[in-house]
C-alpha cells in the first residue's frame, strides 16, 4: 500500500495510467477476458447475455420514447400516435420497445428454464438464483406499468384489474388500492406515477443485474453436466470462446427480433389498445399480455378472490425457496431420469396455463387451469422434495473434460465411481 | 471445435487453441480477414442502429408541417407593426413610413457593422419582415409598439444587453454582431405573404 497505485500490466500508457488509479481494465480482463468458464456450455447459456442486451435495448429505446411521450390522460394516447406517425423513426422505436418487452420475457423464461433444468439454483448458487427472481419480479412490474402508458383500453382496464388485486387484502385492501391510484379510480395521478416508476425501475434492474453477475462471478457458472470444474482442463477463458459463442446467439436472436418488429409488430399486442381508454366501458374480453397469461390463469383457477391472488403471487415467490425444496445433490436433469420428466411436464403445465389464461374463464379452460395450477405447485412442493429422497440418479461423469477428450461418446464405465458427488 | 476434435481424435484441446493462432497455410491471414469483415459489419450495423435514435430527435413531421406562416397585410396601417409566430419564433412585420424608408436607405453601408443595403433586406420597401430575435443572445427587442423604446436609430432596442437596431433592423450600436435576420418569405398576393 506504499504508493497506493494498482500494479497494472497493460502496454498502452494511457490505459495503464487509468488502470493504475482505477483498475477497471484489470477487472474487465479478469471477469470477461481470462475468466475461467466451463468448456461445455450449450446455446442455452447464451440467454443471460441476450437478456443483458435486451435490457440495454429497452432502456435506450425507452429514453428516446420518453422524449416524445406525454404522461397525461388527455394527451398520452395522442402522443403515442404522434410517435407512430410524425416522429422520425418513432414507429421503429416504439415497435422495438413494445416487442422488446416480449423478447425480454422469452429470453428470461428460457434463462429461468435453463436454471431449472440444469439445477443452477442449487448450492452454492442460491443467492444468485434469488437475485434472478428479484429481477424477474421487477421486470414484471416494469412491463405492467409500461403497458399502461399508451392509455388505450387494454392499458386502462389492465391497470384497473391488476391494481384491484390488492383489494383482496383483508381490512386494508381498499385503502391500499386508493393509495396506489392516488384517487378513487385509475386516473391521471395513476398514469403519472406509473410513468415515473416505469422510468425508474429499469435502472433498479440494472443494479440488481450487477449483483446477479457479481454473485455469478464468485461461484462461477453452472454447466450442462452440473458438476464442478476440477481444474484448468475443464475450463476455457471467457474471451474469445464465449464472447464469440454469445455473438453467434446474438445474431440469431436479432434475426428473430427483427422479423417480429418489421413483419409482425402487432402480433403479440391487442387491437383494443388502439382504442383510447374509456373509463365507462370495459372491453368484452380482457386479457393481459401473453407473458402474464400463466399467472392470470392461476388467479382465475381459484373460485375465491383472496385465494386466487395469494396463489398467483405464490407461483413466483415459490421460486425463492426452490433451492431448499429440491434436496437432490445432483444438479443437472441429465442425470435425473424422473425429475427430468417431472420438469418437462411442469413446462407443459406452464404452456397449458398460458393457453387457459388467454381463454374466457369457462368450460374446459377452467378445468385445465385447475389441473395446471395443481401440477405447477405440486412440482415444487411435492415432487421435488420427494424425488430428492427417492430418485435413483444416473452416474455422474468424473469431470467435464474427460468424456469430451475421449471422443465425446457414451461415458466410460469407470465414470460411475462417484454418483452422489456433491454437485 | 467439434470438427477439429473429429480430425484429431484424442489430441489435447490445448493444441487446438495453438493451431488457431498459428499462421500456417496462411491461416493468420484468414483470421485477419474474418476479424476485419466482422469488425466492418459491426461498425455498419452500429451506425444503422444509432441513426434512427439521432434522427428521432430532429423536428418531427407535425413540427415541420407548421414551418410556414401566412400573414394578411391588409389590416396593417402605415407606421404599424405586428408580431406573428413562425416556427415558434416572433416575426416582426412593419409597415414602414416614407420617413423610415428614407432613413434606412440613406445610411452609408460602410458605417455598418454587418453591411447590408436596405434594398437587400426587403422585397417591397414599405414592408419590413424580420425575425424578432436579437442576434446577440436571443432576446426579443422592443420597438413594435409606439410606446416602446426604439433605440438611438428609431428602430428596435434590445433591453437585455442594449443593442440598437435601425429602421431596417440593422445593428448600429451594442453587443449584437449581426443584423436582425430576414426570414425567407414571398408575396402570394399584394396583401398576403407566406413566411417559410
**Domains of chain A listed by start with CATH number:** 26-281 (1.20.810.10), 287-390 (1.10.287.980)
Percent of chain A having pLDDT more than 90? Answer: 89
Cα–Cα distance measured from residue A68 to residue A107, given in angstroms and rounded to the nearest whole number: 28
Chosen from B3, B52, B61 to mutate, greatest number of chain A CBs within 10 A: B52
Average pLDDT for A99-126? 97
Structural domain boundaries of chain B? Answer: 25-58, 64-195
Q: Is the pLDDT assigned to residue B3 strictly greater than 50?
A: no
CATH number of B64-195: 2.102.10.10
Dump pLDDT digits (tens) for A153-176.
999 999 999 999 999 999 999 999
B57–A60 CB contact, under 8 Å: no
Residue range A86-101: average pLDDT? 97
The CA–CA distances, whole Å, from A199 to A84, A93, A202, A371 equal: 20, 16, 7, 38
Mutate to test the interface with B, among A88, A236, A245 (most CBs of B within 10 A): A88
Taking the CA of residue A299 as centre, how many other CA atoms within 13 Å lie in the half-sphere pointing to its CB?
Answer: 19
In the prediction, which pLDDT does B64 show? 85
Given an 8 Å threshold on Cβ–Cβ distance, is A85 in contact with B61? yes
Q: Which chain A residue has its CA at the smallest distance from B3's CA?
A: A407
Which residues of chain A lie closer than 8 angstroms to B37, CB-CB? none
* Cα radius of gyration (chain A): 24
Residues of A in Cβ contact (< 8 Å) with B55: 88-89
pLDDT value for A65: 97
Question: Are residues B5 and A92, on separate chains, in Cβ contact within 8 Å?
Answer: no
**DSSP of A155-197, one letter per residue?**
HHHHHHHHHHGGGGSTTTHHHHHHHHHTSSSS-HHHHHHHHHH
User: Phi and psi at residue B11, in whole multiples of 5°?
Assistant: -70, 140
Which chain B residues have a beta carbon less than 8 Å from that of A87? Answer: 56, 60-61
Which residues are CB-neighbours of A385 under 8 A, at least 6 positions away? A325, A326, A327
Tally of helices (H runs) and strands (E runs) in chain B: 6, 9
What average pLDDT is seen over chain A?
93
- Chain A CB contacts of B46 under 8 Å are none
Residue of B8, B25, B95, B161 marked active site:
B161
> Model confidence over A47-87: pLDDT tens digits?
999 999 999 999 999 999 999 999 999 999 999 999 999 99
Q: What is the pLDDT of residue A138?
A: 97
pLDDT band at residue A100, thresholds of 50, 70 and 90?
Answer: very high
**Does the distance separating the beta carbons of A82 and B57 come in below 8 Å?**
no
* pLDDT at residue A416 greater than cutoff 90: no
Give yes or no: B136 in active site: no
pLDDT, position A316: 97
Average pLDDT over residues B178-195: 92
Among the partner residues B12, B55, B63, nearest to A89 by beta-carbon distance? B55
Q: Provide the pLDDT for residue A420.
A: 46
Q: Least CB-CB distance to B52: which of A67, A93, A407?
A: A93
pLDDT of residue A66: 97
Is the pLDDT confidence value at B19 over 80? no
Q: What is the end-to-end Cα distance of chain B in Å, rounded? A: 64
pLDDT attached to residue B168: 92
Would the pLDDT of A22 be above 70? Answer: yes
Closest by CA to A97, choosing from A143, A148, A49, A33, is: A143
Peptide bond into A240 cis (omega under 30): yes
B7: nearest CA in chain A?
A: A407
Each residue of B139-173: pLDDT tens digit? Answer: 999 999 988 998 889 899 999 999 999 999 999 99
Question: pLDDT tens digit string along A170-215?
Answer: 999 999 999 999 999 999 999 999 999 999 999 999 999 999 999 9
**What is the model's pTM?**
0.84
Annotated catalytic residues of A are 217, 221, 245-246, 289
Is 50 exceeded by the pLDDT of residue B93?
Answer: yes
ipTM surpassing 0.90: no
Hey, are the CB atoms on B56 and A404 less than 8 Å from each other? Answer: no
Arithmetic mean of pLDDT, B95-117: 90
Residue-level pLDDT at A401: 86
The nearest alpha carbon in chain A to B1 belongs to A241
- Residues of chain B contacting A88 with CB distance shorter than 8 Å: 52, 55-56, 58, 60-61
pLDDT tens digits, B39-83 = 999 999 999 999 999 999 999 998 888 788 899 999 999 889 999
Confidence at B11, pLDDT banded by 50, 70, 90: very low
Residue B15, pLDDT > 70, answer: no
Say how far residue A303 (Cα) sits from the centre of its chain.
29
Specify the long-range contacts of residues A117-120, CB closer than 8 Å, at least 24 apart: A117/A44, A117/A332, A117/A333, A117/A340, A117/A343, A118/A44, A118/A222, A118/A223, A118/A224, A118/A226, A118/A331, A118/A332, A118/A333, A119/A222, A119/A226, A119/A326, A119/A328, A119/A330, A119/A331, A119/A332, A119/A333, A119/A423, A120/A222, A120/A331
Provide Rg for chain B, Cα atoms.
32
pLDDT given at position A334: 95
Indicate the average pLDDT of chain B. 85
SS3 A367: helix
Chain B interface disruption, residue of A87, A235, A400, most B CBs within 10 A: A87
Rounded Cα distance between B3 and A336, Å, is 30
User: Are residues B5 and A408, on separate chains, in Cβ contact within 8 Å?
Assistant: yes
Cα dihedral value A401, A403, A408, A409, nearest 10: 180
Residues in chain B closer than 8 A to A90 (CB atoms): 56, 60
User: Given a cut of 90, is residue A265 above it in pLDDT?
Assistant: yes
At residue B27, does pLDDT exceed 70? no
pLDDT above 50 for B2 = no
Amino acid at each position: 500500500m506504499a504508493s497506493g497505485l494498482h500494479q497494472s500490466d497493460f502496454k498502452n500508457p494511457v490505459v495503464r495510467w487509468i488502470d493504475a488509479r482505477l483498475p477497471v481494465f484489470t477487472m474487465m480482463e479478469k471477469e470477461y477476458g481470462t475468466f475461467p468458464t466451463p468448456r461445455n456450455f450449450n446455446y442455452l447459456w447464451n440467454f443471460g447475455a441476450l437478456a443483458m442486451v435486451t435490457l440495454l435495448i429497452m432502456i435506450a429505446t425507452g429514453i428516446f420514447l420518453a422524449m416524445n411521450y406525454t404522461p397525461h390522460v388527455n394527451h398520452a394516447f395522442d402522443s403515442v400516435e404522434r410517435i407512430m406517425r410524425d416522429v422520425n423513426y418513432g414507429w421503429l422505436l416504439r415497435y422495438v420497445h413494445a416487442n422488446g418487452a416480449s423478447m425480454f420475457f422469452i429470453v428470461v423464461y428460457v434463462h429461468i428454464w435453463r436454471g431449472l433444468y440444469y439445477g443452477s439454483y442449487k448450492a452454492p448458487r442460491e443467492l444468485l438464483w434469488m437475485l434472478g427472481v428479484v429481477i424477474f419480479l421487477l421486470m414484471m412490474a416494469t412491463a405492467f406499468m409500461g403497458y399502461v402508458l399508451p392509455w388505450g383500453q387494454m392499458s386502462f382496464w389492465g391497470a384497473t384489474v391488476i391494481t384491484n388485486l390488492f383489494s383482496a387484502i383483508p381490512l386494508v385492501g381498499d385503502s391500499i388500492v386508493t393509495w396506489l391510484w392516488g384517487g378513487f379510480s385509475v386516473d391521471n395521478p395513476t398514469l403519472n406515477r406509473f410513468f415515473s416508476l416505469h422510468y425508474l425501475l429499469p435502472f433498479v434492474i440494472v443494479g440488481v443485474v450487477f449483483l446477479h453477475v457479481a454473485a455469478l462471478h464468485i461461484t462461477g457458472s453452472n454447466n450442462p453436466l452440473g458438476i464442478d470444474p476440477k481444474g484448468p482442463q475443464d475450463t476455457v477463458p471467457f474471451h474469445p470462446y464465449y464472447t464469440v459463442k454469445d455473438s453467434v446467439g446474438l445474431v440469431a436472436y436479432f434475426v428473430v427480433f427483427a422479423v417480429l418488429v418489421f413483419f409482425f409488430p402487432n402480433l403479440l399486442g391487442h387491437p383494443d389498445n388502439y382504442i383510447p381508454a374509456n373509463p365507462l366501458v370495459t372491453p368484452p374480453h380482457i386479457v393481459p399480455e401473453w407473458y402474464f397469461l400463466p399467472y392470470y390463469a392461476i388467479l382465475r383457477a381459484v373460485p375465491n378472490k383472496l385465494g386466487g391472488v395469494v396463489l398467483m403471487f405464490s407461483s413466483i415467490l415459490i421460486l425463492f425457496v426452490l433451492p431448499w425444496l429440491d434436496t437432490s445433490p445432483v444438479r443437472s436433469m441429465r442425470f435425473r431420469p424422473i425429475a427430468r420428466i417431472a420438469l418437462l411436464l411442469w413446462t407443459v403445465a406452464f404452456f397449458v396455463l398460458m393457453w387457459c389464461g388467454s381463454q374466457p374463464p369457462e368450460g374446459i379452460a377452467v378445468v385445465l387451469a385447475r389441473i395446471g395450477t395443481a401440477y405447477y405447485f405440486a412440482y415444487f412442493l411435492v415432487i421435488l422434495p420427494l424425488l430428492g429422497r427417492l430418485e435413483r440418479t444416473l452416474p455422474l461423469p468424473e469431470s467435464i473434460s474427460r468424456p469430451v477428450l475421449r471422443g465425446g461418446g457414451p461415458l466410460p464405465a469407470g465414470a460411475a465411481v462417484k454418483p452422489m458427488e456433491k454437485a | 471445435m467439434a470438427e477439429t476434435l473429429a480430425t484429431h481424435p484424442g489430441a489435447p484441446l490445448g493444441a487446438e487453441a495453438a493451431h488457431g493462432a498459428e499462421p500456417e497455410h496462411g491461416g493468420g491471414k484468414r483470421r485477419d480477414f474474418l476479424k476485419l469483415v466482422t469488425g466492418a459489419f459491426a461498425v455498419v450495423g452500429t451506425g444503422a442502429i444509432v441513426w434512427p435514435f439521432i434522427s428521432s430527435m430532429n423536428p418531427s413531421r407535425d413540427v415541420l408541417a407548421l414551418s410556414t406562416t401566412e400573414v394578411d397585410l391588409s389590416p396593417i396601417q402605415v407606421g404599424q407593426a405586428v408580431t406573428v409566430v413562425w416556427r415558434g419564433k416572433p416575426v416582426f412585420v412593419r409597415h414602414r413610413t416614407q420617413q423610415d424608408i428614407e432613413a434606412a436607405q440613406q445610411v452609408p453601408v460602410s458605417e455598418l457593422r454587418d453591411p447590408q443595403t436596405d434594398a437587400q433586406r426587403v422585397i417591397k420597401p414599405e414592408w419590413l419582415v424580420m425575425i424578432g430575435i436579437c442576434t446577440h443572445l436571443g432576446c426579443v427587442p422592443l420597438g413594435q409598439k409606439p410606446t416602446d423604446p426604439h433605440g438611438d436609430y428609431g428602430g428596435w432596442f434590445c433591453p437585455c444587453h442594449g443593442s440598437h437596431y435601425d429602421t431596417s433592423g440593422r445593428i448600429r450600436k451594442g453587443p449584437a454582431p449581426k443584423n436582425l435576420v430576414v426570414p425567407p418569405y414571398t408575396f402570394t398576393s399584394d396583401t398576403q405573404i407566406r413566411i417559410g
